[in-house]
Homo-oligomer: A and B are copies of this chain.
Amino acid sequence: MAHQDPIARLVSQLARLPGIGEKTANRLAFHIIKEPAAFAQELSEALLGVKERIGLCTTCCNLTETDPCWICQSEKRDSSVICVVEGTPDLMAIERTGEFMGRYHVLHGVLRPLEGVGPDEIRVRELVQRLSKPEQGVREVIVATNPNTDGETTALYIARLLRPFEVKVTRIASGIPIGGDLEYTDRVTLGRALLGRREI
């Protein structure tokens, strides 16, 4: 099977996916071959559909089929609070908690100065533009980037950038995960948990 036959082609295409090595790609390919044709057909349509029909919401930059996205459209959401996230998966994670009824802003990345990812590569300008319109009535911006170096840098950058506006900029809490164990918590997290202590 030296020539690029359809099986080898499918294997090499699957192996381009992140975290899928050649062995897994092989296993997946032979599974797809074994399944009825509808399986490959449906997966193929889903692949094309996602690229054809998904774009960015012009308000919050979320990935969406409609513009504005369903969250920006919803009358039930509180427009005075904007939660800033790195990507749509983070937005979906917050939605799953059911704890947040405000709106979002999706950055599509974080600042990575060492890798040359600056403010122009992520959607911060759109956030500033959004806050520039006083009719939006935004009171609070919650920065929910990940609690790692790049996420913290981005949070500080956003806080500084929004200083001219009359909004409160907050950061999600870091600490010991629920169900976690003090004994096995790394010292940075434990330190943060102490600093972020709250009255009960």
Instruction: List residues of A whose CB falls within 8 A of some B CB.
Output: 1, 5-7, 9-10, 12-14, 16-20, 24, 26-33, 37, 39-54, 63-65, 70, 87-89, 92, 95
Residue contact B48 to A40, C-beta cutoff 8 Å: yes
Known contacts A5-B65, A44-B44, A65-B5; is A88 also within 8 Å of B30 by CB?
yes
Is B51 a contact of A40 with CB atoms below 8 Å?
Answer: yes
Cβ of B10 and Cβ of A47 under 8 Å apart?
yes
- Number of this chain's copies in the assembly equals 2
Are A40's CB and B47's CB within 8 A? yes
Q: Within 8 Å CB of A54, what residues of B?
A: 6-7, 33
Q: Is the interface of A mostly helix, strand, loop or mixed?
A: helix
27 interchain pairs, CB-CB under 8 A: A1-B92, A1-B95, A6-B53, A7-B50, A7-B88, A9-B46, A10-B47, A10-B50, A12-B46, A13-B42, A13-B47, A17-B28, A18-B28, A19-B24, A26-B89, A27-B89, A30-B88, A32-B51, A37-B51, A40-B48, A40-B50, A41-B47, A43-B44, A43-B47, A44-B44, A44-B45, A44-B47
